[in-house]
Amino acid sequence: MRHRARHLLALLLAAFLLAEPCLVAAQSALADLLTRAAATSDAGKHAEAYALLAAEEDTHIGEIAYDYALGRAALNAGRPDRATIAFARVLALDPGHAGALIDSGRAYLALGNRAQAEAAFEALLSLDPPPAIRAQLLVYLAQARGAERTAGAALRGYVTVAAGTSSNVNQAPGQGPVFVPGLPAVVQLADQNVRKDDTFASLGGGVEAATPLTGRVSLIGSAEFLARANAHESDFDVGGVAGSLGLAWSGDRYLVRGQVQLMRNSLGGDTSRDVKALSLDASETTSPTPGSFGVLFGFLHLGSYRHPPEDLKVFDADFVSAGAGMTTRLDEKSTISVALVTGLDEDKGDNPSGNRKGIGGRIAWEQVFTPTIRLAAIASLVKSIYNAQDAIFLTERKDTRMDFEAFLRYQVAPKVEARLGSWRSVQDSNIPIYEYKRTDWWLSVSRLFD
């Protein structure tokens, strides 16, 4: 009996050792197939990419990465019927697969099955996706509703309540004494210009809408508000209202939006800043897949900052900013996005620092643990250089600002989400009055409406 058990154990071990190389080889073959198909599709040869993948369907059917790539290739090749079948296999194994939900909705839309397309887009909007994806979904949802409803507008609204604590509600230096070379002397900053910590509560909300006009063009708009009150430092209560109106064009591969944007900020209950801007942004409508190059996006903004209070007019400026980036999947459950940004502020208020040139980068990552639990992190770095010699500090101002935010998302109900998060901001400067460090902790609950 003991001899038979040893013999069985040896057979199992041999089977394992033989199976492992086969599994690695199969995974390598699939990775190579997906890479070749992605390169073919990127070259605009969508029919060839679909044929390449379809030829291996018997070998790889049921594997999420393969089925999703096959569905996308079929959709790009003008075969939405085949695409829906492939996406259905993905969703059977991973019901929360965002890419398959978006692309299956697009496939149903191409087939004229507007009801199923609408259901797919609504399901994704209920997950509160990032702004760029949300904009795409609203346009698609409006197209899905357009032919079946008198008012084909797609609406999405939200209300958010939050509470937390901040180590520096006024974003000020931590120390009062500052050496001023132009005097020369050590100056004591006013109490309101020294770091203050406090607890806070906030209320925010907004609505976004898209209405199809003709063909691929939709009218888009949004409105938002935010009010944040501190428990003790009411002089630094902040608020704001913002609105936008524009047009969106939805192509086979890209979504392009042009908008007029207005914003008014308040500080301590009084208007502190008005912003007027024109914005243009474009993003690919495909969804990122593991191992692919990724989905590209870019934007251009130009406008003005104006400050009604007389003591803040020194910060008046006209601005232009531009950026580009890419979003890609690390695996089936994690996504990463990177962007480079540059900008110029032209002084219009006799700012002692003059004009500002800035360059920076941003990286965002999200990990899906379960359909209801996600973890996200965002980090950014911006370096700013000003062109005027400060008459008091006898130098040209140079700032480096670093921001890091992380939050855990929990889907309490289909349209209710709770977030627990933290935000850390550090600005270093060669002029000490512009330096600060700030750490916020917060808990929020959001309710979505459509």
Q: Are residues 250 and 351 in the same domain?
A: yes
- pLDDT, residue 353, reads 93
For residue 71, CA distances in Å to 80, 151, 276, 388 come to: 8, 31, 42, 56
Q: Are residues 79 and 215 in the same domain?
A: no
Q: Are residues 207 and 328 in the same domain?
A: yes
- pLDDT, residue 251, reads 77
For residue 83, CA distances in Å to 71, 77, 428 come to: 4, 10, 51
Cα distance between residue 410 and residue 407, in whole Å: 10
Low-confidence ranges of the chain (pLDDT < 50): 15-16, 18-19, 22-23, 147-150, 186
Amino acid at 360: G
> Does 403 reside within a domain?
no
- pLDDT, residue 150, reads 43
In the listed set 398, 417, 445, which residue is the last one of a domain according to the structure?
398
> Does 247 reside within a domain?
yes
Q: Are residues 216 and 363 in the same domain?
A: yes
Q: Are residues 356 and 228 in the same domain?
A: yes
Q: What is the CATH number of the domain that holds 35?
A: 1.25.40.10
3-state secondary structure of 32: helix
Q: Are residues 261 and 345 in the same domain?
A: yes
Q: What is the CATH number of the domain that holds 378?
A: 2.40.160
Q: Are residues 223 and 115 in the same domain?
A: no
Q: Are residues 217 and 113 in the same domain?
A: no
- Please write the tens of the pLDDT for every residue from 383-415: 999 999 988 888 999 999 999 999 999 999 888
Find the DSSP H helices in 43-97: 46-54, 57-60, 64-76, 80-93
DSSP code of 176?
A: S
Domains held by the chain: number = 2
- pLDDT, residue 206, reads 94
- pLDDT, residue 9, reads 55
Output the DSSP codes for 291-344: TS--EEEEEEEEEEEE--SGGGGGG-EEEEEEEEEEEEEEETTEEEEEEEEEEE
The structure tokens 């679909």 sit at: 50
Q: Which two tokens stand for residue 211?
A: 């209405």
Cα distance between residue 424 and residue 403, in whole Å: 6
> Does 316 reside within a domain?
yes
> Does 50 reside within a domain?
yes
Q: Are residues 255 and 342 in the same domain?
A: yes
For residue 61, CA distances in Å to 24, 53, 71, 72, 167 come to: 17, 10, 12, 15, 54
Q: Are residues 324 and 231 in the same domain?
A: yes
Cα distance between residue 359 and residue 398, in whole Å: 12
> Does 450 reside within a domain?
no
Q: Are residues 282 and 189 in the same domain?
A: yes
Q: Are residues 380 and 291 in the same domain?
A: yes
> Does 4 reside within a domain?
no
- pLDDT, residue 335, reads 87
- pLDDT, residue 185, reads 53
User: Any bridge partners for residue 238, and if so which?
Assistant: 228, 267
User: Do 279 and 266 touch, CB atoms closer than 8 A?
Assistant: no
Cα distance between residue 377 and residue 252, in whole Å: 31
> Does 444 reside within a domain?
no
- pLDDT, residue 327, reads 87
Burial class of residue 151 (count of CB atoms within 10 Å of its CB; 0-12, 13-18, 19+): exposed
Domain of residue 264 covers 173-193+203-398
Selection from 341, 281, 342, 353 nearest residue 317 by Cα: 353
Cα distance between residue 125 and residue 134, in whole Å: 7
Burial class of residue 55 (count of CB atoms within 10 Å of its CB; 0-12, 13-18, 19+): exposed
- Please write the tens of the pLDDT for every residue from 182-211: 555 545 556 667 788 999 999 999 999 888
> Does 229 reside within a domain?
yes
